[in-house]
Amino acid sequence: MDATVYGPESAPRLALNKSPARRILEAAVRSPGFKVGMGVLLLLLFAMVFYPMLSDVSATTINVRARFLPPIGVGDKWIWAHPLGTDQLGRDILMRSVVGLRYSLFIGVASVFMMLMLGCGLGIYAGYRAGWRDTVIMRITDAQLSIPMIILAISILGVSTPTVQSIILVLAMSGWPLYARVARSVALAERSMEYVRGLEVLGASHWRIMLLYMVPTILPPIVFIAVLDVARMMIFETILGFLGLGVPPPAPSFGTMISDGRKYLINAWWIASCPGMFLALALLSLNLIGAAFERARNQVFGGSDGSQ
């Protein structure tokens, strides 16, 4: 009976048999930065999901009699129903920060997903088909890249009523060209490979080659980088809220809360500081996870041992 025995010397060969995406994921998971970032992110997600279910405090209810209550541990009057205090209208800071995190994360993830799908789709199509199609798509990409994201957002949202959907659309319109350029460069290299020529000789359609063979090659490295873009989109969403172009009230958002709280920084610093703390923790966790994926990708494709 033929049996295969795997010894220690076969470990490198088995590792090479794994897909690059799986090797990147396994290397990232072993990173201490990934563990810390994922722990913080899971804690924030747990609070975001369960705290509104467990608490009977509303994020939008105004209670003038409870305005400017300090957080627990600050001052002589501790109100356990409001652990992080209340704002100038008596609204609970913790509940508003948790709900604001929902909006910020949703907008960040949704906008990056649209950027990824649109940018990669156009980039793969342009790189594979080449010719005039490539020229037209890349000129549109260059034109889009010449417009700063914040200028485009202010121009569009400033003349209309901002909504969650319009904010996601504006952010996606601003960021897709970067993904298109990366996907195009990879598609240009892949279209000259022997397996692509073989598929064309066998009669495979262009769409089948792009969807079934090129997309799995291009997406994994880009998806890992997209984690960092989620944090970037959350920052832009906060900036828009600070400028009054974010999620419309009474729904809370980090930018709106920080903008309102800056008027009371001397006497009620927690109004702006607590939402800022939640945003900082979310950005820190995403950046740690994204950096771990980036180091793992460099380790896998660069052949380093990651000891540096």
What tens-digit pLDDT sequence spans the chain (308 residues)?
Answer: 444 444 444 444 444 556 667 787 888 888 899 999 999 999 999 999 998 888 888 888 888 888 888 898 776 666 777 888 899 998 999 999 999 999 999 999 999 999 999 999 999 999 888 889 889 999 999 888 888 888 888 888 888 888 999 999 999 988 899 899 988 888 888 888 888 888 888 888 878 888 888 888 777 778 777 888 999 999 999 999 999 888 888 889 999 999 999 989 888 899 999 999 999 999 999 999 988 888 888 887 665 444 43
Q: What is the rounded distance in angstroms from the CA atom of residue 26 to the CA atom of residue 17?
A: 14
pLDDT at 191: 83
Token output for 275:
């939402």
Token output for 182:
């990366």
CB 159 within 8 A of CB 166: no
CB 59 within 8 A of CB 91: yes
- Phi then psi dihedrals of residue 61, to 5 deg: -70, 130
pLDDT at 189: 83
Of 105, 94, 93, which is closest to residue 41 (Cα–Cα)? 105
Token output for 184:
């195009």
Domains of the chain, CATH where assigned = 19-302 (1.10.3720.10)
Full-model pTM = 0.85
pLDDT at 194: 83
CB 154 within 8 A of CB 242: no
